[in-house]
Structure 1
Amino acid sequence: MKMRYFLIGLQFLLSGINFLNAQEKAFSTEGWWEPEGEKFSPVVHEDRSITFRLNAPQADNVTLLFGEWDIVEKKMKKDDLGNWSINLKNVESGIYQYNFLINNSFKKLDPVNPNIKVGTNIYGSIVEVPDTPARFDQLQEVPHGEVHIITYRSIVLDKTRKMYVYVPKIYQELKDVKFPVLYLRHGGGDNEGSWINDGRANIILDNLISQGKSKPMLIVMSNGLIDGSWSSGSTIEGMNTLEEELINDIIPLIENRYHVSKNKKDRAIAGLSMGGGQSVVIGLRNPNLFSFVGDFSAGLLSDPDIDLSTYIPDLFKMADSINQNIDLLWISCGSKDPRFLGHKKFHSILNKHGIKNEFHQGSYGHEWQFWRSQLKDFSKQIFIK
C-alpha cells in the first residue's frame, strides 16, 4: 500500500515539473519569416512536366493513377527517406485528377495537395498544367463575376437546400438590363457546387464575356439529387420532383432576387450526365419556359432499355411544337464514353421524327475536360436568336 501511495505521489511530482518546464518555455515565432521551400507535391515545371511525391516509408510499392478517364498507371520510385516520386513529362495543358495506389490495394489522395475533386464522394486530387496563352477554362486577367451561395426552402422536398449563382461583372453596372439565365445541372456523383469547383463555369463565362463571345448571363446551379443517392435524380419520380422544385421554388426566387428576364427567350437549361437527362426531360416538357436545351453525356438518352415516352409523353409526336418553341436542342457526348453510340442513335431518332437538334462530340470520355468545352460552346450559341 505504501508503495502505491509513493508511486502516485511521484507521478504528481513529475507532472508538476513538466508543467513548470512548459511554463518556462516562452512562445516563439522563430522561423515564421523564412522563405517557403520547394513544394513537395505536385510540382508543375515550366517544361510541362509534373513531379509527384508521397511519403510512405512503410509501403512496398506505390503507383500513380493519373487522369480522370484514360487513367495512366506509373510505378513510383522510393528514396532512402521513404519518399516515393515520379516525373511525368510532356503533359498537355489541362486540369487533371490523380490518386496514389499503395501496395496495389489502397487508393490515397495526395495529403499535401488541398485541391480535390469532390461531389457525393471525394474522388481524387487535382493538378493543373497551365497554357500560354491561357485556355478558355484558365483564370485570365479579365473582369471577374461573383458566385453567390443561396440557401432556400424547397417546398416539394420539405427541406432547406443550397444553390450557386454565377453573376457576371457587368450585371452590377447595367442595373436596368434584364439578363438571361442558364439553369445548369450537375451529374449524379456531383453536387450544386461542382460546376464551379470542377467545371469552372464562372471562369469560362468570365473569359467568354470579356472576349465578346458570349452574351452576359446568370448561371443557376441547384442540387439535382433527391435523397443523396446518385441515381435519385434520374427516376421518373425524381424528375417530377425536381421539375416542380425548379418551376415553383427556384425560378421564382431567381426572378424576384435578380434583375433577370422573365421571357422564355432568355431562359436555357443544360447539364452533364444525370443533369443532361434532367435538362432534356424538363426542357422539352416545358417549351413554354425554355428556349435552349443542352445535354452533355446523359446516360438516360443513350440507354436503349429506357422508354423516353414515360418521361416525355408523345415526345416523337411533338416535332412541330418543339421546333417552334425550342431554338436550340444541343446533344453531345465524348467519343470514348460508353454512352456515345446511344447518343448518336438518339440524334438519329430525333432527325427521323423531324425534331431539329445539333449533335456534338469530342475525343473524350465521361469527364470534365469534355463538359467544360461543351459549356463553352453551348454558351456561345444561346440567347443570340
Structure 2
Amino acid sequence: MEKKLFVLLLFLFSYVSINGQAFSTEGWWSPETQNYSPVVTADGHITFRTPAPNAKEVKLVFGEWDAKIVNMHKNAEGDWETTIGPVSPGIYEYKFEIDGLKVLDYKNPKVKFGTEVYGSIVEVCASVPRFDQYVYAGSEVDVISYISTPLSQRRKIYVYIPAAYYENPEIRLPVLYLRHGGGDDESSWIRSASADAIMDNLIIEGKARPMIVVMTNGLTDGSWAGGSNVEGMAALEEELLKDVIPLVENRYRVLTDRKWRAIAGLSMGGGQAFVIGMRHLELFSAIGEFCSGLLSDSSWDYSKYGVVSIDDSARVNSMLSLLWISCGTKDTRWEGHKEFCQLLDRKGINYVFHHSEHGHEWQFWREQLRDFATALFH
C-alpha cells in the first residue's frame, strides 16, 4: 500500500515538473469587479439580471403593493436584464417571473422572509440618509431566548437598545412593545423595517425620547389564525405579562410605571396590541394599531375578546395618553378602519387617526413606527 502511494506521488511530481506548472490557488477567490444583480447607481437607476438561458420570457416584478411588471431582455452574455429608474430612495421588494414562474434573485442574498420567503430586497440610498437608512449610532439589538409559559416552547425576542443606555449607566428608559404581522416573526421589524435605524435617526435628531423597543413573536402555532383568534390572543397575553415583561424588566434598566410603557403592532400584531393594551390599561399608557384586519372586520365582536374597556370611555380617556389608529388608503382594510373609527366615536373614545396613500406594506409601517415613536413618552 505504501509503495503504491509513493509511486502515485512520484507520478504527480513528475507530471507537474514536466509541464513546468506549480499548484496554485491564485484567482480562485478574486472579488467580482461589480455586482451582478442588482446594481444601483448614484442617481437611483437599478439594473437587474438573472441567468435563464432556456427561458422564453422573463419579467421583473418590482414593488410590494403596487407592483410594476417590466419585460426583461437577453443581453450579449445570454443573461436576462433590465434597468429601471430613477427610483426614489427606499427599500424595495422584487422578484423575477421566468416563463410564468416567480423566483428570487439568487445572486442577491438579501431577502424578505418570515414564515416563508416573499421576495428579494434592494435598497436605494439617499445622499442625505432617509429616516429608515442606517447610520452608526452605537445602538445594539439583543436576541434573547426564553420559555413561553402558555405555549411550553422556546421563543425569542429582539430588543433594540439605544446608545443612551450605554452612555449613561444610571439612566432608566421607557419601553415600547412592538408586534409584527401575520406571516412574519419577531425579527421582521428589524430585517424588513429597519426599526433600529428608524429609532436611531429619531433619537439622534432629538425627535424621540431614547427608549427600548421589544419585538415579540405573535404566532402561536405557525399559522396566521393562531395570532388572531380568542384562544391565541389569550396565550399571547399571558406570555407577554408572565414571561416577556418580567424578563425585560429584570434584565434591563427600564422604567416600570405604566406611564413609560407602550404597545403597538402592524396588521395581526395591531389587533394584538389593541386587544392586550385595552385589556390592560393598568400596564400601558399608549396603544398603536397599524392596519389591523381584526379591528376592520365589521363583524368583530370586541366583547368576545374581553375588550370591555371600550364601553368605559371615561376610564380609557383618562388612562391612555395616546390611542393611535392608522391605515393606508390603498389597503383593503381602509373602509373597515373608517367604520372602526366610527365605533370609537360612538363610544366617546379619544384617538388619533393617521393615513397616507399606501397599501398593506412595509413602507407605510416604517412611517407609522417613525411617527408613533415621535409621539410617545412626553
Question: Aligned partner of 1:317: which letter?
Answer: D
- Is this contact kept in 2: 1:50–1:89, CA < 8 A? yes
What displacement does 1:34 show?
A: 5.1
2:145 corresponding residue in structure 1: 151
What displacement does 1:17 show?
A: 7.0
Distance 1:326 1:316 in 2: 12
Matches within 5 A, 1:93-242: 93-104=89-100, 106-140=101-135, 142-242=136-236
The SS at the match of 1:132 is coil
What displacement does 1:296 show?
A: 0.7
What displacement does 1:154 show?
A: 0.8
2:342 corresponding residue in structure 1: 348
The SS at the match of 1:251 is helix
What displacement does 1:81 show?
A: 3.2
1:9 corresponding residue in structure 2: none
The SS at the match of 1:162 is strand
The SS at the match of 1:308 is coil
Pair 30,224 (structure 1): closer, same or farther in 2 beyond 3 Å: same
Distance 1:308 1:199 in 2: 30
- Is this contact kept in 2: 1:58–1:82, CA < 8 A? no
Which residues of structure 2 form unaligned runs of 5+?
none
1:249 corresponding residue in structure 2: 243
1:73 aligns with 2:53: no
Question: Aligned partner of 2:187: which letter?
Answer: G
Distance 1:246 1:168 in 2: 22
1:382 corresponding residue in structure 2: 376
Distance 1:370 1:19 in 2: 69
Pair 18,330 (structure 1): closer, same or farther in 2 beyond 3 Å: farther
Pair 355,55 (structure 1): closer, same or farther in 2 beyond 3 Å: same
Distance 1:377 1:351 in 2: 23
The SS at the match of 2:327 is strand
Identity of aligned residues (%): 51
Give CA-to-partner distance per residue, 1:303-330, whole Å, 9 cap, x none.
1122122113434412111111111000
Give CA-to-partner distance per residue, 1:71-90, whole Å, 9 cap, x none.
10011001343200001022
Give CA-to-partner distance per residue, 1:257-287, whole Å, 9 cap, x none.
0010110000000001000000000000000
- Is this contact kept in 2: 1:94–1:128, CA < 8 A? yes
Question: Aligned partner of 2:199: which letter?
Answer: L
What displacement does 1:32 show?
A: 5.7
Give CA-to-partner distance per residue, 1:40-97, whole Å, 9 cap, x none.
1001112211100001101111110000000100110013432000010221111000
1:40 aligns with 2:13: no
The SS at the match of 1:86 is strand
- Is this contact kept in 2: 1:43–1:52, CA < 8 A? yes
What displacement does 1:36 show?
A: 3.1
2:257 corresponding residue in structure 1: 263
1:90 corresponding residue in structure 2: 86
Distance 1:123 1:87 in 2: 22
Question: Aligned partner of 2:247: which letter?
Answer: L
The SS at the match of 1:270 is strand
Distance 2:11 2:76 in 1: 39
- Is this contact kept in 1: 2:310–2:316, CA < 8 A? no
Matches within 5 A, 1:256-335: 256-335=250-329
Pair 20,343 (structure 1): closer, same or farther in 2 beyond 3 Å: farther
What displacement does 1:103 show?
A: 0.3
TM-score by length of 1: 0.92
1:367 aligns with 2:361: yes
Question: Aligned partner of 2:286: which letter?
Answer: F
The Cα RMSD (Å) is: 2.0
- Is this contact kept in 2: 1:146–1:167, CA < 8 A? yes
- Is this contact kept in 1: 2:258–2:283, CA < 8 A? yes
Aligned length: 368
